[in-house]
Chains A and B, each alone.
Chain A
């Protein structure tokens, strides 16, 4: 086509199109620029900057205000200092130096006339100034002819004269400096010459120059060297001269210079604050500059502080489903001050994040007694003067201005009222205030004088302008989680790379917050981001990513404030309630790789062995092995032997040729597999009691009642409720009827089966030497004092509650027959005989031979086990099993049993009709190979008693269905596997895999939480009737009526059927979960699952068989506990970060963490104090008196380092000192409560409300208070106590860990002992109770402790109870030993005691051969050890409460340093001990004190070390007294006449 003018499109149109698109483009570009310029985070940062600058400015202004007063004084002082006379002696000194120097330099003597004249002038002027000053000060008042101005003039004149003097002095000084420089210059030149000549010499050597020339040059060098040393000397002299002159000059001017310096410090601080404020918030020109450079495009030039702040974490990756990506946490972009600490502190937040309830305060500000005088000063200034309060109209973060406290001057009424800078005063005496004028006006004119005004104050800041809580744990460099290493999202989740509120996936904590966020920030639920932020309530969950042991998250010495309390509570609940019995939590991937916490049941070795023992065909060896394995399942060698033996028999059985030789049952062969090694065995024991010997313990009626509803008998039980959970069926009578029918069958079948299937048990009977009948009265005291209350609660003993074991208040109703009494006696006496894996220890309840007041046997022997049993059974309890159907399966019940069996048998392979036939006639034997184990029960050949077989079949299926064996040892279920979903990664469970079913309609309908809650409350009051109510209303009509009443009730609720608005439940604290259920999140799912476990079955049961219905039981958790459990489970994500982020304790920390788990298993802390109370006391200088100095053995002295002393003198920003006290307050001997005394140290009477309380605090650790050392066991400081709470007046009290029983028993054992001896000393009673174990590691030898834990022996005769035997494994004992050593910083796992080595003893005895004998003199002397201690065979006489341990047994038990320190001064180890100082140390006495020389010659130190060495080697000492040779000779002599043959080795053994 030829070219033409014509265009493809019309040009005009095109112009319009181009024009329009260009315009669109421009607009779009501008829009883009504007959008970028106004990004959300920029505004936040600017606001934050303003806030921070405001705070700094307020601090600056406050300081400036306080300084300005001081400044005036400073100016006057400085003027005065500058007009001081000049001390002529200083001038003389100066002159002498100058003259000496001139003399040395042989220069003419200087002329002093000018200087002398100047000095005279100064001193004359100074005298005049002093006179003027005196006149100004003395006369005062109006007619004073001399004014301040005159003084200033006089002072200025003097100052000028002084300057003249200084000028003259400076002349000399600069001359001296000039000379010094000159010499230095000269030396430099000479040195350069020398270097040049040296290189010249070098060249000459190279060139082979003549010796002569070389010598000449060498001479030159030597000349230079000499010159250099000469000059060096002169330089030193000149320098010395100059500095001396300087020193004198400075001396004369010292006062002024120091004042100047002080003022400089203040000014610098003020300047620093001012600079800081302006750096944060540019002002003036720089502000304009910033404003311009922050504009689009220009912002390339911007270099200020408004910018994205991000932490890059390349190793801490995030899971993007198919790849691991580095984290970019930009959270700090908005949360700018998240890690800012208060000035001068390491971990106090600069902008505390206060909980809402602490943000609204009502403060009382004292007013003057009379109306303030009229004044011309501005209101502002008057308020400042009267109240010390300075206010401003401003806003910290918002846009509205408010009446804000700018600052408060210390020591003023405003400070006393507790007002702080930044507080917003919202109302004054009920009158709203929006500006400071209102407040000021009220304070100056309207207040009621003499009565305080009430201020309504809003304190603190909103997010994101606050700092993170617990900066000791998080973000700061000194914390374990510095922000640069961990960032934010690894703990919080959320989208770290986001920079807007909505896109970072914040998660609201409740429906109100959600509504607020949607309104204010355009928040939305971003379903596509799989890691939404954890809501505040679950923030602790993510600790589990890196912490796999509970002990790591519990309070510790370093972090006494619990680091993750909710998570730890949840973890403990999961442990206590045995959730892991059904829901395994496998924390391992392979033998070593960890994924998270590990909670799995231990291998069933004991149970397998017990079940094996049922096989009567075991041979003796197999039986013995099985019996041993029952008691020590951790013994690998026994287990393998038994396994091999059983497998050998199984092998015989497997071949048809040898089948006849096999002895053992087929079930036994199968059991053997349960003895195999497990790669990483679980460590948890089953939480419920063993049911293996159940028939020896309980009756059918009780059992039926218990299974049906455990809390009916024991309201506090941890056993969950399996039956009667029918809320979801209440609207569906037909389905409800099915449940009722089959649940009844299940309960009966279970009860019958568990009894029938259990093994025989041999009861224990009281030993023959017991003479006394069992006594409930004696039993009561034994129950209380022998430690039962450390684990059990009992109504008879209010004041102590423990939940390690069950509440025993009602056991008499459980054991109301002869069988029960026999069982209880056996159980108390030897619990592991009945339940081999029980945690209940053996208490050594051996018969007690009663003694009279003189410690002589009375011939009466009592049996404590029988007494305790009698006490428990003696209680009158108003409880009985109710509505227990008669036994035997009759009529309808028999039919129901058969129906349920049919349900169980019916499957794809077996249609219902066939199943019914089987149930009626039995299953043909020919089908046996195809049957599952339980079904074989129904084989025709076993069908002699069909009802019993059906019952057992149904029972076994029921046990398998509900997973009873997850908590109980049930015979025949040794190989059963946990039935529930594993929870190891449940925290990441895909919510599409969760069956929410019809949960919304349930919650909107019959399961409405409001209705449900009221019902539960009612149930708590009348547990018994509630449990029965649904059963009684059996007919459908009644149920329908019931349902209709419900629907009536629902009309009251907003929404009614079909609609559930989470916002209605904000006040119930559950709106979060309901919202979560609405959006189908796992958080809500698990909440509802725990709350009403069967409710997901709502309206689904019609299409399920009975056995397909949900089976999760209901645990008796309250809302708080539920949330704790959820926190724990949500943290289980099996997503371990890179190894370096996982918490890896060092050996000592590891020992502590692992040991804690064992301590918890056996509830050691029930009796023993593991850690004393810790009081962080804040106080003011002078609150504590100084301690009295004491003289003691030098090795007992505890020297605090200078740094420690300096730290104890540091003042906090509020001017307080701090000290950490470890120990416990002195307790009242009658009440056992901490004793409160008044300021004079006198006990405060209970009705005294006026006196300020003080506590006498028994220190268990040496400590520094106000820079002074207080020593444990010497003096108890008196600590100002809080008037409202327990603890110090200011500061915090962290509770003790453990020892509840000891504290509970303290007053009781005193009262008990007083019956025999009214003069009992209270403090000593601690010595009769389980000892605190903080220092156990330093005290005992590791080997001894291990053996003791495995097999405890009685040590102290004085104690009311002895250490029981927990039958722990060697491994558990070893962990405890390591724990104790690690916790008290003692060496472990081994320790080396040189004092017990031959080499040491030999060297000691070389110097002093009779050392042991002399030390023994002290031991056996009537004044000392044997007064109270048994020694080997010797027993002291008297009252056993005064006795100490047998000294012959010290050597394997205690560590040598401990014995030395203990004997030196026992109170310094145990403040309560009654043991006296026996070898006193007195540096002024001959032999440094000590015991009589006739016993042991030498100083007290030598005596002590001799005694310790004897005690530590008592076995050696005793051995030396034993002679075996005479025995051998005697034996030889006895056998000699008969025959001359040498004796055989076996014969001597009989000796």
Chain B
């Protein structure tokens, strides 16, 4: 008899959770701007030891910390972190399968940090007249390291989300380094040259967000308008329906990016 009752309750619970998913279709956004607090100095010029005829004419600099006007910090990564799959706004359905391009261009990776969803193809291209190899140090997905020749892009699809942005390198040109952020959902933003980022259409509720920058990894213990990040660079933020949670200027101490 107990059995019967339990079974009923389980069915009921299942029904509720199904409907719950449907109801939760309210969305909000998150935005902010990273500003470095303090001086990071001039960008370090790269000593081009290989293929100077191609790579030597572009004033290549070390891109591990890129700061624009007023200390705007580029290439900081913010992404939603959840152990369970989150609802994805229907707008994202379109484009989820469109390829994104990681280009080897003038002996650097373009873009420097690339975001891609699982199952979404990455076109690894080479716009330079010389050969590059693309060596992605993926933690969860199968290792990838292949020669990319001029004009013959290679397509790569990643099946699993990577826990942290995975470094991408070219072994031939030892200064070349980029990152690829692989997530199951589209809730990832990379700060632009003004230090700004925005993640739109996040399902309403309190979510954990990871703040990450390549210089020091997790941006831990960083003050936010709404609290601060923990030692793992995470912060729980509440997204309200139809509103944008603006974190405003997020001050990143120069020391936090290793300067």
Interface on A for B, CB 8 Å cutoff?
A: 137-138, 140, 853-855, 1185, 1187-1188, 1190, 1237-1238, 1240-1243, 1245, 1247-1248, 1256, 1273-1276, 1316-1321, 1323-1324, 1422-1424, 1427-1428, 1437-1439, 1441-1442, 1466-1467, 1471, 1474-1478, 1480, 1491-1492
Is the pair B142, A1317 in contact by a Cβ cutoff of 8 Å? no
Q: A1188-B159, A1190-B142 are in contact. List 20 more A-B contacts (CB 8 A).
A: A138-B4, A1188-B142, A1188-B160, A1241-B139, A1241-B162, A1242-B218, A1245-B231, A1245-B232, A1248-B232, A1274-B142, A1274-B143, A1276-B139, A1317-B175, A1318-B44, A1423-B150, A1438-B50, A1438-B174, A1439-B49, A1441-B174, A1477-B145
Is the pair B145, A1474 in contact by a Cβ cutoff of 8 Å? yes
Is the pair B149, A1423 in contact by a Cβ cutoff of 8 Å? yes
Known: A854-B47, A1321-B135, A1424-B131. A1439 touches B174 (CB 8 A): yes
Complex Cα distance A1427/B176, Å? Answer: 15
Q: Which residue of B lies closest to A1471 (CB)?
A: B143
| Segment 120-142 of B: residues with Cβ below 8 Å from A | 130-131, 133-135, 137, 139-142
Minimum distance in angstroms from B179 CB to a CB of chain A: 12
Is the pair A1256, B139 in contact by a Cβ cutoff of 8 Å? yes
Contact bitstring B221-234, A, C-beta under 8 A = 1, else 0: 00000000001100
- Within 8 Å by CB of B135, from A1245, A1276, A1476, lies A1476
Q: Does B154 contact A (CB under 8 A)?
A: yes
- Within 8 Å by CB of B174, from A1238, A1243, A1319, A1492, lies A1319
Q: Does B171 contact A (CB under 8 A)?
A: yes
Most buried by A among B64, B147, B160, B177: B147
Minimum distance in angstroms from A424 CB to a CB of chain B: 37
Q: Does B62 contact A (CB under 8 A)?
A: yes
Minimum distance in angstroms from B27 CB to a CB of chain A: 25
Q: Does B1 contact A (CB under 8 A)?
A: yes
Known: A1318-B62, A1477-B146. A1241 touches B140 (CB 8 A): yes
Contact bitstring B201-226, A, C-beta under 8 A = 1, else 0: 00000000000000001101000000
Complex Cα distance A831/B60, Å? Answer: 47
- Within 8 Å by CB of B176, from A137, A1243, A1319, A1476, lies A1319
Minimum distance in angstroms from A117 CB to a CB of chain B: 36
| Segment 149-178 of B: residues with Cβ below 8 Å from A | 149-150, 152, 154, 159-160, 162-164, 167, 169, 171-172, 174-177
Is the pair A1242, B164 in contact by a Cβ cutoff of 8 Å? yes
- Within 8 Å by CB of B131, from A1238, A1318, A1324, A1423, lies A1423
Most buried by A among B130, B140, B174: B174
Known: A1243-B217, A1442-B50. A1188 touches B139 (CB 8 A): no
Complex Cα distance A1399/B142, Å? Answer: 40
Is the pair B64, A1319 in contact by a Cβ cutoff of 8 Å? yes
Closest 6 CB pairs of A and B: A1241-B163, A1423-B131, A1476-B133, A1438-B50, A1474-B171, A1319-B177
Known: A1245-B231, A1319-B175. A1275 touches B142 (CB 8 A): yes
Q: Does B83 contact A (CB under 8 A)?
A: yes
Minimum distance in angstroms from A1310 CB to a CB of chain B: 13
Is the pair A1424, B4 in contact by a Cβ cutoff of 8 Å? no
Complex Cα distance A1477/B148, Å? Answer: 10
Complex Cα distance A1492/B148, Å? Answer: 12
Jot down 30 A-B pairs with beta carbons below 8 A, ordered by A.
A137-B1, A137-B4, A853-B49, A1185-B140, A1240-B81, A1241-B139, A1242-B218, A1245-B218, A1245-B220, A1273-B143, A1276-B139, A1318-B64, A1319-B174, A1321-B135, A1321-B167, A1321-B171, A1321-B174, A1323-B137, A1423-B147, A1423-B149, A1437-B51, A1438-B49, A1438-B51, A1438-B172, A1442-B172, A1442-B174, A1474-B135, A1476-B133, A1476-B145, A1477-B146
Report A-chain residues with C-beta under 8 Å of the C-beta of B232. 1238, 1242, 1245, 1248
Complex Cα distance A1276/B137, Å? Answer: 11
Complex Cα distance A944/B79, Å? Answer: 95
Complex Cα distance A1331/B1, Å? Answer: 67
Is the pair B218, A1240 in contact by a Cβ cutoff of 8 Å? no
Report B-chain residues with C-beta under 8 Å of the C-beta of A1438. 49-51, 172, 174
Minimum distance in angstroms from B259 CB to a CB of chain A: 12
Report A-chain residues with C-beta under 8 Å of the C-beta of B5. 140
Is the pair A1467, B145 in contact by a Cβ cutoff of 8 Å? yes
Complex Cα distance A1242/B143, Å? Answer: 18
Minimum distance in angstroms from B4 CB to a CB of chain A: 5
Minimum distance in angstroms from B49 CB to a CB of chain A: 4
Known: A1318-B62, A1442-B172. A1477 touches B147 (CB 8 A): yes
Q: Which residue of B lies closest to A1466 (CB)?
A: B145
Report B-chain residues with C-beta under 8 Å of the C-beta of A1491. 149
Is the pair A1475, B171 in contact by a Cβ cutoff of 8 Å? yes
| Segment 4-43 of B: residues with Cβ below 8 Å from A | 4-5
Q: Which residue of A lies closest to B83 (CB)?
A: A1240
Complex Cα distance A1237/B134, Å? Answer: 26
- Within 8 Å by CB of A1275, from B143, B145, B167, lies B143
Complex Cα distance A1474/B140, Å? Answer: 18
Q: Which secondary structure characterizes the binding site on chain B? A: loop
Complex Cα distance A745/B220, Å? Answer: 71
Report B-chain residues with C-beta under 8 Å of the C-beta of A1321. 135, 137, 167, 169, 171, 174, 177
- Within 8 Å by CB of A854, from B4, B49, B176, B177, lies B49
Report B-chain residues with C-beta under 8 Å of the C-beta of A1256. 139
Report B-chain residues with C-beta under 8 Å of the C-beta of A138. 4
Complex Cα distance A1422/B150, Å? Answer: 11
Minimum distance in angstroms from B229 CB to a CB of chain A: 12
Report A-chain residues with C-beta under 8 Å of the C-beta of B147. 1423-1424, 1476-1478, 1480
Report A-chain residues with C-beta under 8 Å of the C-beta of B130. 1422-1423
Minimum distance in angstroms from B130 CB to a CB of chain A: 6
Complex Cα distance A927/B64, Å? Answer: 89
Is the pair B50, A1437 in contact by a Cβ cutoff of 8 Å? yes
Minimum distance in angstroms from A566 CB to a CB of chain B: 42
Complex Cα distance A790/B116, Å? Answer: 45
Is the pair B149, A1492 in contact by a Cβ cutoff of 8 Å? yes
Complex Cα distance A1438/B46, Å? Answer: 13
Report B-chain residues with C-beta under 8 Å of the C-beta of A1428. 171-172
Is the pair A1275, B140 in contact by a Cβ cutoff of 8 Å? yes
Report A-chain residues with C-beta under 8 Å of the C-beta of B133. 1474, 1476
Report B-chain residues with C-beta under 8 Å of the C-beta of A1187. 142
Report B-chain residues with C-beta under 8 Å of the C-beta of A1319. 62, 64, 169, 174-177
Complex Cα distance A1492/B231, Å? Answer: 49
Complex Cα distance A254/B64, Å? Answer: 69
Report A-chain residues with C-beta under 8 Å of the C-beta of B172. 1427-1428, 1438, 1442
Minimum distance in angstroms from B171 CB to a CB of chain A: 4
Q: Which residue of A lies closest to B126 (CB)?
A: A1423
Report A-chain residues with C-beta under 8 Å of the C-beta of B64. 1318-1319
Q: Which residue of A lies closest to B134 (CB)?
A: A1476
Complex Cα distance A1197/B217, Å? Answer: 36
Minimum distance in angstroms from A1305 CB to a CB of chain B: 19
Q: Which residue of A lies closest to B230 (CB)?
A: A1245
Minimum distance in angstroms from B110 CB to a CB of chain A: 16
Minimum distance in angstroms from A72 CB to a CB of chain B: 12
Report B-chain residues with C-beta under 8 Å of the C-beta of A1243. 164, 217-218
Minimum distance in angstroms from A646 CB to a CB of chain B: 60
Report A-chain residues with C-beta under 8 Å of the C-beta of B163. 1237, 1240-1242
Report B-chain residues with C-beta under 8 Å of the C-beta of A1275. 140-143
Report A-chain residues with C-beta under 8 Å of the C-beta of B146. 1476-1477, 1480
Complex Cα distance A1492/B154, Å? Answer: 13
Report A-chain residues with C-beta under 8 Å of the C-beta of B169. 1319, 1321, 1474
Q: Which residue of A lies closest to B143 (CB)?
A: A1467
Minimum distance in angstroms from B220 CB to a CB of chain A: 7
Is the pair A1320, B174 in contact by a Cβ cutoff of 8 Å? yes
Is the pair A1437, B49 in contact by a Cβ cutoff of 8 Å? yes
